[in-house]
């Protein structure tokens, strides 16, 4: 799918981890933090920070979305295992996509759009894309940008202040 320069995040969806569709249009007007995740990565502990961030900032308009990916060979083989791991180990309550590609020719349409817009794709697990209330990309962040770190915190605060 060719990414249109005028498209916004609300045009995309992912298969949901428990079946159905995770349609980003349902979050229109909110700030999204989309993180590609993996169960067996050195950064897997960030699930805890992502859940705390989602809980703390939800009322202000933030939603975290996890996108499990096997692109870096550190994810469980099936959605049910990933879902159970996230719920039992980290008490994840934010939306999770089904296991998806996040880079390269097979990237999910959302990630293909981010690559076209920013010439950026996840370089590793727990890379993050911040989407503003207007559906446009407000920033991209690497694995080392912690959910409660200064760079991400400042970008989220600024995005939450902007109108849709």
Give residues with Cβ within 8 angstroms of 96, minimum separation 6.
16, 17, 22, 37, 65, 66, 67, 68, 82, 83, 86
Q: Which of 33, 41, 67, 159 is catalytic?
A: 41
Pairwise CA distance, residues 103 & 6, whole Å = 21
Extract the tokens encoding 5. 């320069």
Please state, in angstroms and rounded to a whole number, the distance separating the CA atoms of residues 134 and 28: 8
Strands 128-131 and 137-141: antiparallel
CA distance 31 to 60: 9
Closest CA to 111 of 31, 35, 29, 45: 35
Are the CB atoms for 25 and 63 separated by under 8 Å?
no
The verdict on whether 41 is a catalytic residue reads yes
Residues with a known catalytic role: 41
């Amino acid at each position: 799918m060719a990414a249109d320069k005028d498209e916004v995040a609300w045009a995309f969806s992912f298969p949901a981890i428990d079946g159905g569709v995770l349609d980003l249009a349902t979050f229109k007007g909110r700030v999204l933090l989309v993180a590609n995740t993996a169960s067996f990565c050195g950064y897997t502990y960030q699930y805890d920070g992502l859940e705390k961030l989602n809980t703390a900032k939800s009322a202000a308009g933030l939603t975290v979305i996890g996108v499990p990916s096997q692109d870096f060979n550190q994810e469980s083989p099936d959605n049910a295992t990933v879902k159970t791991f996230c719920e039992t180990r980290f008490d994840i309550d934010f939306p999770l996509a089904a296991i998806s590609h996040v880079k390269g020719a097979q990237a999910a349409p959302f990630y293909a759009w981010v690559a076209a817009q920013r010439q950026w794709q996840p370089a590793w697990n727990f890379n993050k894309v911040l989407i503003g209330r207007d559906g446009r990309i407000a920033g991209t962040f690497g694995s080392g940008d912690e959910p409660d770190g200064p760079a991400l915190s400042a970008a989220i605060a600024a995005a939450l202040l902007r109108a849709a």
